[in-house]
Amino acid sequence: MRWALVGLLALIAAAVAMSAVVHRWQTPRDKQAIEQLIGPEHRYVEVDGHRMSVAVQGSGPRTIVLMPGLATPEPILGFAPLAERLAEQSTVVTIEPLGYGLSDGTDTPRTSDAITNETRSALRELGLGGPYVLMPHSVSGLYAMWWASHHPDEVAAVVGLDDERFTADGATDSPDWPRWMAGVSAIGGTRDLISLDNTTDYLGLAADYRASLGDASEYTEDQQELYLRAYSWILNPTVLDEMARGAENVRAAEGVVFPPTLPALSILADSSLEVEPEWEPAHRASISNPAIQQVTIMDGHHYLFHANASAVAELTEQFLDAHLPTR
């Protein structure tokens, strides 16, 4: 039995070592493939000594900033159909926050203040001055609220994409992954747990993305595969720290309402309302001026901008044209 146990441990050690080698070999190749797929709109800017990945499309008078939800594997690919449509009339910047997509990680605590200031720095590095139209998805709704309340002169409008608000108990529904998941990801464990052949997903990590991407005709099979491959490195220390600070960031936004002169539109997915009854009331509670601040419900998945990119873009342009004069 002793030798059998030794043999079993040796097999486990060999499997872990092989996983780590494959992950270290495959990850830079996946990132290179994503860079090539994203195209010339993609670039890097330096933020606090780290490299942040962004994409800039269009040259219109409004600057729209697309802000991803928590642990979105590859924001630029995810927002691509929506960004392409919005760029017909506006300058569209897709942000990959530190720790996301092709951006570097950071040790800076992932508070709303830090994440917002890093995004502001990236926009300044790009030479794009405000005020900006913020389009946050999911958890980025908290950061947009922080931005609008602490730097109101920089925000022209907010169009939320099923974006998060505080809940009645001040908590979030985000997964509270243990910190050791960063070590699992570093040795390729997440890559092993999520099969890219669409047949297995041992932890259910990518199920939402697969369902949402599968409904969107704009994504080729190669694009979907690369999008999901990015999940193999998204559970890193930077993003795990953001998850751990979810309740803290919710509390920082609790009771905050939009400034009464700020146009704001929240586009909510009906599927989210079925899961979270407080979702719509929490959004309506942040309205301070119903004349220019609205909540609307759209039939679709939490990632509305995948399959509903055309409808979201049209609704956004109509709202901005009605409430925000073109500069």
Residue 266's closest CA among 306, 296, 304? 296
Per the domain annotation, does 43 fall within a domain? yes
Per the domain annotation, does 147 fall within a domain? yes
Domain of residue 212, residue span: 15-323
Dihedral pair phi/psi, residue 53, rounded to 5°: -90, 130
Residue 137's closest CA among 301, 324, 284? 301
Per the domain annotation, does 8 fall within a domain? no
Domain of residue 162, CATH code: 3.40.50.1820
Interhelix angle 207-214/221-229, nearest 10 degrees:
160
Per the domain annotation, does 244 fall within a domain? yes
pLDDT (tens place) for every residue of the chain, 327 residues total: 777 676 666 565 555 555 556 556 677 777 888 888 888 899 999 999 999 999 999 999 999 999 999 988 899 998 999 999 999 999 999 999 999 999 999 999 999 999 999 999 999 999 998 899 999 999 999 999 999 999 999 999 999 999 987 654 444 445 555 565 555 565 555 655 555 545 554 445 555 666 666 666 777 777 777 777 787 778 888 998 998 888 888 888 888 899 999 999 999 999 888 888 888 998 999 999 999 999 999 998 888 888 899 999 999 999 999 998 765
* The predicted structure's pLDDT at residue 291: 95
Contact 324, 62 (CB under 8 A): yes
Give the angle 267-268-269 at the CA atoms, nearest 5°.
130
Structurally, how many domains does the chain consist of? 1
Contact 90, 73 (CB under 8 A): no
Give the three-class secondary structure for 178. coil
Per the domain annotation, does 219 fall within a domain? yes
Contact 139, 302 (CB under 8 A): no
Give the three-class secondary structure for 102. coil
Per the domain annotation, does 6 fall within a domain? no
Per the domain annotation, does 278 fall within a domain? yes
How many residues belong to the chain?
327
CA 221 → CA 110, 118, 190, 201, distances in Å? 33, 33, 21, 18
Q: Which residues contact 269 (CB under 8 A, 6 or more apart)?
A: 162, 297, 298, 299, 300, 301, 302, 304
Instruction: Record the pTM.
Output: 0.87
Tokens 């060999």, residue located:
14
Per the domain annotation, does 208 fall within a domain? yes
DSSP string, 110-173: --HHHHHHHHHHHHHHTT--S-EEEEEBTTHHHHHHHHHHH-GGGEEEEEEES-----TTS---
In whole angstroms, what is the distance from residue 66 CA to residue 95 CA? 6
